[in-house]
Chain A
Amino acid sequence: MGVPHGKADRSASVIIIGAGHAGLAMSRCLSERSIDHVLLERGEVGNSWRQERWDSLRLLTPNWLTRLPGFRYQGSDPDGFMSVAELVAFIDTYAGKIDAPVETGATVRSVIPTSAGYRIETARGSWSSKALVLASGAFGAPNLPAAAEAIPAGIRQFTAKDYRNPAQLPEGGVLVVGASATGLQLAEEIHRSGRPVTMAVGEHVRMPRLYRGLDIQYWLNGTGLLDETWRQVDDIVRARRVPSPQLVGTPERRSLDLNALTDQGVVIVGRFAGVAGRKVQFSGGLRNHCVMADLKQTRLLDTVDAYARDAGLTLGIGAVERFEATRVPSSPRLEMDLGSGEIASVVWATGFRPDYHWLKAPVFDRRGRLRHEGGVVAAPGLYALGHTFLRRRKSSFIHGAEDDARDLSSHLACYLAGTRMPLAEAV
């Protein structure tokens, strides 16, 4: 790629790409340090939340935990879960409160390293900066199995990014692939719409919404599990691959697991294994995936119970609970004929990866993943925010942005000042 020609239209010490919760948290931290910066946003503040989420989605974390640096939920329902509209309003209010310097409609076309930092071409002119923060979100591009291409043309396909509500789907059966929070939530509402759902289930993380009467996030927070850092876990690559827990945020604070879906008539099958001719094939390993999730849930609850005991928590919490093992059909289906008319659409709830196709720098590994140590990217003055387990287990949550942004802004300040930079793990 060539060296960009001419002087950039405008410059800032730091460019933050993306004005969602993570970019705004970083903006606030930089403002506290009086570091001049600009947020480049392709749409409006909180764009992904406005444009790329399904209608019924609510946050998986309760309102009392939904916070950004210097800002927290002030409403009357601390135990509730924000809808997308409420979250957009929350983020919007925050952007105004911190007076974030956001350039809207500035879709980034390319980012190129220069001798002095970075040059950013956008739909609204070019920028140069000394440092750059990638805060465009962890959900840029859906992860689809290669075999998705082999699904016959007559079957409509949707991802969690373009799915809005069941009415979008053709009448008839639906194959939902993926059994994390998204897969379970979509499977449930689609099935309730009268479209019979078959759900392909691979590795998943099972968790009750309430445990001993308190939200599971209360316990995850209290035990310190959410604060565990990328240096504390023994295999960060694996930790970053752990699927999101099976949770849903509803006013009645109910749990959503495979048993609940089975009771409603959803048929569960093994992991999506491939397509052979007209047939979709499912793994025969469903039972083990369920057994592992049940064992891990029990271990998590053991940890919670130990925490409650050691912390002397007795007041206001319920008795120790254990939940029914996941009921697995004795002979789960191994294949489905796509030509039989049994299903009319496939919904891929198979996760996302960040989309940095515009970043023209040698910072990706052989599988196209950003190379970084706790958000300090393998290029001078380049940082990332908002990835799953970037620096802490909570990194991808709204409330996880604060600590990461504080750490990385401190590293960034040293970089700009030309002082000796702390190691990524030290900040």
Chain B
Amino acid sequence: MNMPTKTTGSIDNGVNVEALLGAREALTEAPEAAQFRWKASSRWMRGTHTRSACQGFFGLGEAQSHRTEFTFDTDHPEVFASEDKGATPVEMVLVGLAGCLTAGIATVAQNREIQLKSVTAVIEGSMDLAGILGIDGDVRNGFEDVQVTFEVDADATREEIEALVAQSQKRSAVYDIVTNPTNITVQVK
């Protein structure tokens, strides 16, 4: 790994790696500041349509906020006899995975001084509806399998690009969330 410095300058993927490396160092010294809590709030609209929003979160020891509130509509498609007012929640998971892995690629590339020209991905999750419809108790509700296919155009060898994609998985939160179990508590207030 080569530490990029401001003088190398010619590589710009728009990621402020110096700030990230600084944060890594600072949070190593102050582990309590590294404790973040992400948050979304949601409201049922009608049918299978829900509108969710993200704005506030907690981290670096205090309440934080996005520049603005971001809202997301989720619904089911018309083939499910729904009104299709948004992506399905499972597609939102794919969106999260795409965003996380791609951000990772850009960051790692910046850190390794690799100029990216374009990064596109197709993310597909296979699902057997026999699970959520309760047809077959042996079939899980969630994805049986997730396929991500990246196309990366960069000033790098194929091996370097493969290493970028591999490293982005190693450091990805959503990848970890999808591949490993997480304790979850759902309660009614």
User: Interface of A with B (CB < 8 Å)?
Assistant: 203, 234-235, 270-271, 273-274, 276, 281, 283-285, 288, 291-292, 295, 298-299, 331, 366
CA of A235 to CA of B3, assembled, Å: 11
Q: Please indicate the chain B residues that have their CB under 8 angstroms from the CB of A283 in the complex.
A: 179-180
Query: Contacts A234-B1, A235-B1, A331-B145 hold; do A284 and B166 have CB atoms under 8 A apart?
Result: no
Interface membership of B33, Cβ < 8 A: no
Interface membership of B159, Cβ < 8 A: yes
Q: Please indicate the chain B residues that have their CB under 8 angstroms from the CB of A299 in the complex.
A: 159
Residues A292 and B170 in contact, CB atoms below 8 Å apart: yes
Interface membership of B22, Cβ < 8 A: no
Q: A49 → chain B, closest Cβ, in Å?
A: 35
Interface membership of B150, Cβ < 8 A: no
Residues B181 and A274 in contact, CB atoms below 8 Å apart: yes
Q: B156 → chain A, closest Cβ, in Å?
A: 13
15 A-B pairs whose Cβ atoms sit less than 8 Å apart in the complex = A234-B1, A234-B3, A273-B181, A274-B180, A281-B180, A283-B180, A284-B179, A285-B179, A288-B166, A288-B175, A291-B166, A292-B163, A295-B162, A331-B144, A366-B31
B159 contact from A235, A285, A288, A295, Cβ within 8 A: A295
CA of A239 to CA of B170, assembled, Å: 16
CA of A270 to CA of B181, assembled, Å: 12
Q: Would you call the interface of chain B mostly helix, strand, loop, or mixed? A: helix
Interface membership of B95, Cβ < 8 A: no
18 more A-B contacts (CB under 8 A) besides A281-B180, A288-B175? A271-B180, A273-B179, A273-B181, A276-B181, A283-B179, A283-B180, A284-B146, A284-B178, A285-B175, A285-B176, A285-B179, A288-B166, A288-B169, A288-B170, A291-B166, A292-B166, A298-B159, A366-B31
Residues A285 and B169 in contact, CB atoms below 8 Å apart: yes
Q: A334 → chain B, closest Cβ, in Å?
A: 9
User: Interface of B with A (CB < 8 Å)?
Assistant: 1, 3, 31, 144-146, 159, 162-163, 166-167, 169-170, 175-176, 178-181
Q: Please indicate the chain A residues that have their CB under 8 angstroms from the CB of B3 in the complex.
A: 234
Q: B152 → chain A, closest Cβ, in Å?
A: 15
CA of A102 to CA of B155, assembled, Å: 60
CA of A366 to CA of B166, assembled, Å: 30
CA of A270 to CA of B3, assembled, Å: 32
Q: Please indicate the chain B residues that have their CB under 8 angstroms from the CB of A292 in the complex.
A: 163, 166-167, 170
Closest 6 CB pairs of A and B: A284-B179, A285-B179, A288-B169, A292-B166, A273-B180, A283-B179
CA of A299 to CA of B170, assembled, Å: 18
Q: A225 → chain B, closest Cβ, in Å?
A: 16
Q: Please indicate the chain B residues that have their CB under 8 angstroms from the CB of A284 in the complex.
A: 146, 178-180
Q: Please indicate the chain B residues that have their CB under 8 angstroms from the CB of A276 in the complex.
A: 181
Q: Please indicate the chain B residues that have their CB under 8 angstroms from the CB of A291 in the complex.
A: 162, 166
Q: A307 → chain B, closest Cβ, in Å?
A: 18
CA of A203 to CA of B31, assembled, Å: 24
